[in-house]
Amino acid sequence: MGVIVLINYDVVIIGTGRVGLPLGLCLAELGLRVIGIDKNKNIIEKVNENQMPFHEPKFNSLIKDVEFNVVNDYTVISKSKNIIISVGTPLLPHIEADISQIKDVLKEAMKYLVEFQNVILRSTVAPKTTEYIRNYLEKNTKFKVGENLFLSFCPERIVEGKAYEELRKLPQIIGVEDENSFEKANEIFSLLTKKTFRTNYLSAELVKLFNNANRYINFAIGNQFAIIAENFNENIHEILKMANYDYPRDRISSPGFTAGSCLRKDFGLISESIAFPDILLSSWKINEYMPKFLVDNLLNNTKVQNKKVIILGYTFKQDSDDVRDSLTPKLIRYIERELPDDIIVYEPNIDLTDEESLTDEDDNLPLFDLLKKGDIIFITVPHSEFRLKNEKIFEAAKESAYFVDVWNVMNRDKIIFKKLDELN
Ligand SMILES: NC(=O)c1ccc[n+]([C@@H]2O[C@H](COP(=O)([O-])OP(=O)(O)OC[C@H]3O[C@@H](n4cnc5c(N)ncnc54)[C@H](O)[C@@H]3O)[C@@H](O)[C@H]2O)c1
């Protein structure tokens, strides 16, 4: 007699972070029975109280409207038709993919796999990771992929802040090595998006990595040009305005802090397989140099010692509450080496008391009160609030204050300028 397994869920999502949670909620909105597994207590508590653990537009209301819970219990796997893995895949300092979270998931999950389940890998991975997963599952379970277990790599290509739209708009790449696995993955993703592409594991892995690497390299070009312009004592923002104005070909990127938990590490998932210095490694070097570039250039104009430094922005990108792999902490470390009197950070999208290093009592003062105190004002993230209030920010600053504005939020077309010089 066969074993009867009760299937209660259509999908279980393992890893309900910035990628897994929006996907789970969107699938639940489509009427699927979805449950999440995560080991982070804060995420479990918040989601089960119908609150988003992070900011992502449109999801504050969606999470209240749909049935979706998160548990720290792998046994639910055996009750689901589909299993989506969306845990983190960081980069080790050696420029080596860290697949420990995926390995932990496999170790736990394989205990509960049942025949004919469909496993979808959603995390961004280094080439050949899906093949490793297939081999691991075939070695450690009684199943054979394509016959009585299905496996695909279906990369997530959304950007934070646009998850709701892009989950529906972006074509879904489906990397498979057999027809059955394609049909299973396609069944789910064609509910969400109009277009799916079938390819093999490796090409699907490369599509995702090339999309991100392309962005990373493009931002590095903008940063490289800013460094070159500065070496010639010329102004990058002014040059870019002319270069890009009504020019019908390849827009040059503006300089800025290029970071975040995807761009800053995905290059390494490719670069680890290349023996020689490559364009990815060079882009990494240029993008990572930007905090030092700003501090070194500031030092050509003024000393930092005994000055109050105000930093506007702390997250890795505009209008986000995600601080992972932001370059601002790196900038702060360079500023600290120059012995400022004080460093005060203003970040409108997060509660800075959560950040250990930012305990200064002034951190929560309203923006304009803070600005009055600053000798040097860095704008490290082009938040909408800063763009909208740029003239008021300028007015509130002391006349003797220096601005360091890599994003041109202040619209002065200068990376470093003194307020007094702009008044004259
Ligand atoms: N954030 C993005 O915009 C984005 C976009 C596209 C792709 N990606 C990729 O998607 C993947 C996930 O990224 P993210 O930003 O959602 O990361 P995240 O850190 O926000 O989410 C990962 C979640 O997995 C959980 N987790 C880790 N190990 C676990 C385990 N053994 N069992 C259960 N849960 C576990 C963590 O607690 C966390 O909540 C990464 O590979 C990333 O590169 C991210």
* Residues 296 and 363 placed together within one structural domain of the fold: yes
* Residues 144 and 263 placed together within one structural domain of the fold: no
What pLDDT is attached to residue 72?
A: 98
* Residues 246 and 386 placed together within one structural domain of the fold: yes
- Pocket lining: 141 vs ligand 1, CB cutoff 6 Å: no
- Pocket lining: 158 vs ligand 1, CB cutoff 6 Å: yes
Assess if residue 205 is contained within a domain. no
Question: Widest CA span of the chain, in angstroms?
Answer: 90
| Domain count across the chain | 2
Assess if residue 167 is contained within a domain. yes
* Residues 180 and 276 placed together within one structural domain of the fold: no
pLDDT band at 237; cut points 50, 70, 90: very high
Residues 6+ away with beta carbon under 8 Å from 150: 116, 117, 118, 119, 178, 180, 181, 184, 185
What pLDDT is attached to residue 195?
A: 97
CA of 17 to the centre of ligand 1 (A): 5
Mean pLDDT, rounded, for 125-140 = 98
* Residues 188 and 313 placed together within one structural domain of the fold: no
Assess if residue 357 is contained within a domain. yes
Helix axes 236-244 and 201-231, enclosed angle (nearest 10): 120
pLDDT band at 243; cut points 50, 70, 90: very high
Q: What is the CATH number of the domain that holds 186?
A: 3.40.50.720
* Residues 301 and 180 placed together within one structural domain of the fold: no
CA of 279 to the centre of ligand 1 (A): 27
* Residues 305 and 334 placed together within one structural domain of the fold: yes
- Asked whether the predicted pLDDT for residue 1 surpasses 80, the reply is no
* Residues 283 and 191 placed together within one structural domain of the fold: no
Burial of 149 per CB tally in 10 Å (0-12, 13-18, 19+): buried
Q: Which atom of ligand 1 is nearest to the CA of 20?
A: 16
Mean pLDDT, rounded, for 162-179 = 98
- Pocket lining: 149 vs ligand 1, CB cutoff 6 Å: no
Assess if residue 88 is contained within a domain. yes
Question: Given 179, 199, 219, which residue is the final one in a domain?
Answer: 199
CA of 366 to the centre of ligand 1 (A): 33
What pLDDT is attached to residue 173?
A: 98
CA of 23 to the centre of ligand 1 (A): 12
Mean pLDDT, rounded, for 268-287 = 94
Cβ(280)–Cβ(213) under 8 Å?
yes
Q: Which two tokens stand for residue 317?
A: 């990108």
Assess if residue 55 is contained within a domain. yes
Mean pLDDT, rounded, for 115-134 = 98
DSSP 293-346: HHHHHHHHH---TT-EEEEE--SSSTT----TT-SHHHHHHHHHHT--SEEEEE
pLDDT band at 358; cut points 50, 70, 90: low
Mean pLDDT, rounded, for 161-190 = 98
Mean pLDDT, rounded, for 302-322 = 96
- Pocket lining: 109 vs ligand 1, CB cutoff 6 Å: no
- Asked whether the predicted pLDDT for residue 351 surpasses 90, the reply is no
- Pocket lining: 89 vs ligand 1, CB cutoff 6 Å: yes
Question: Given 134, 167, 199, which residue is the final one in a domain?
Answer: 199
Mean pLDDT, rounded, for 73-89 = 97
- Pocket lining: 98 vs ligand 1, CB cutoff 6 Å: no
CA of 154 to the centre of ligand 1 (A): 14
What pLDDT is attached to residue 314?
A: 96
* Residues 44 and 120 placed together within one structural domain of the fold: yes
CA of 87 to the centre of ligand 1 (A): 4
Assess if residue 137 is contained within a domain. yes
Assess if residue 1 is contained within a domain. no
Q: What percent of the chain clears pLDDT 90, i.e. is strictly above it?
A: 92
* Residues 215 and 332 placed together within one structural domain of the fold: yes
* Residues 122 and 232 placed together within one structural domain of the fold: no
**Residue 267, domain extent:** 211-423
Question: Given 166, 199, 232, which residue is the final one in a domain?
Answer: 199
Residue 54 DSSP SS3 = coil
* Residues 386 and 254 placed together within one structural domain of the fold: yes
Q: Is the dihedral of CA 169, 175, 176, 181 positive or negative?
A: negative
What pLDDT is attached to residue 366?
A: 83
pTM tops 0.85, yes or no: yes
Mean pLDDT, rounded, for 15-36 = 98
Assess if residue 313 is contained within a domain. yes
